[in-house]
Structure 1
Amino acid sequence: MPRWKELPAETSNSERQLLVQLRRLKDHSDLSLAALASRTSYSRSSWERYLNGKKPVPRKAVEELARVCGTEPTRLIVLYDVAERARAKAPAPGRADEPSSPPRSVQPSSPAQDQEQGQEQGREQTPDQDSDQDQDRDRDQAQESASTSASASVRPGRTVPLGWTLAAVALAVAVAFGAGVLTARGWDDEAPAEKTGPVAVGAGYLRGQTYKCAVRRQDGELRAGHSDTREMLLDINSTGFDVVEAQCLLREKGFSPGVFDGLYDERTKGAAKTFQQAHHLVVDGIIGPDTWRELRR
């Protein structure tokens, strides 16, 4: 089973739950990313971006993954709809890395700049289902654009603001360098994640840090003070304060996972299974509404 990379810190809880379930489904099917690409209408690189949280997964991709893995898609579609609503409410990210448009009073752009703009528009209009070889072409185009922009800044008879020229060159070099790193690195599902000290994941949660459990009864239910959820789905690779809450409540019920670090690992899942069996629940190790209800009693 591949060892998944950590999801981006800005990933919302609803999006994180969807990706955890998609990863779990893909792992249980024993299908590689290349195999998924051959059986669906999405490329290998697209699946890598979707499952690692680099780009929102489309609804059609969720349905196709469920079909290929031979499972009912209803539950996944529900998680997708929740994540989609959360994305709709989130503010749109800024484009601070792009220079603003020059004033209308500047001179018309040179043919070289028109060519560079056309190349950039072509890259933006490339469908998401591209082949991995497109990265090499993007890198070559970025390097060519950098050379063209540099030569245009010194061409006789043309007046180009120095600031715009330097910004264009810096942007093109950055794109070329990023494409080169991705091409050299490749998409390696088996690459282990780097282990460092506590890492900020979001909303104050630090991965690698152990949290205290102060379980008390409040409003008729048990709470450990880390989360008040009663519905969040938790499974392998889930992280955050919802997991800390579940770990503390499991210990309070006599089924301690041993650690309280907010990482839903095999020990936590084993404790959850034992708890579910003792309370006559479905023994799947996934903490959902039914298990939360018993943990809160």
Structure 2
Amino acid sequence: MSRWNELPEGLDPRVRQLVVRLRRLKDHSGLSLRQLAAKTGYSSSSWERYLGGRSLPPREAVEAMARIGGDDPTRLLVLHEVAAEAWGTRRGTAAPETEVTVARVRLLARRLRVLRRPLPLRRRPVRIAVLAGTATAVLAVFSALMIVTVGDGETRAAPHGSSSASRSAPTYTCRVERIDGHWYAGNSRTLDAILTNGMAGPKVAEAQCLLRRAGAAPGDVDGIYGPLTERAVERVQQRAGLVVDGIMGPHTWEALRG
């Protein structure tokens, strides 16, 4: 087990959570920094900065560490996304959600292969119409993605005092019932959604209802993934022998669904 130095004071808790997780994976792998560099393609000095909390590791490095340590890459990448947001905010750089949004729109444009295929002259009027329609669709998708959507039906909770927060919030109820050997509360039937602190929506409300049923009180069932919900998830994970990270994932859903 490595004797790690203390992380820098003032390091955002979201970044700290990612770094601690990466340190555990390195310890579990039993690799030295030099061996880790050989297996991932990132230098020893780079890993020293990443694991010391002095530099944010790139997404690819996090994925490589997940493979080496036998961890769920999806779960680790969620931590990385949250940490990247905190890191970017602290340094005054562009918000990762904006970068992800642009990347998604570009990917959509690349997938619209009709934009790249040359067409015979007689079909060019049709192509112009397709291009116009495609441009409209891409702009619509871009506008939709610029809303702080971070998952399938889940959004970042708006800060208190914002215009979004002042609108009437949706109300959720817990109608817990046993269906085909699984517990459901009537808000979502997901079995694998990734939820983390700051997210909101019916899937969060579903998790809160199931947490309450499991005896791990998450506070109000308001559909907002806050500190109380995170701590309730950690209690369930500890009780079920799972990795205790406060993130709802497939294994935690399985524990709650029964």
Structure 1 length normalisation: TM-score?
Answer: 0.40
RCO comparison, higher one (Cα < 8 Å, 6+): 1
Structure 2 length normalisation: TM-score?
Answer: 0.46
More helix by share: 2
Larger radius of gyration: 1
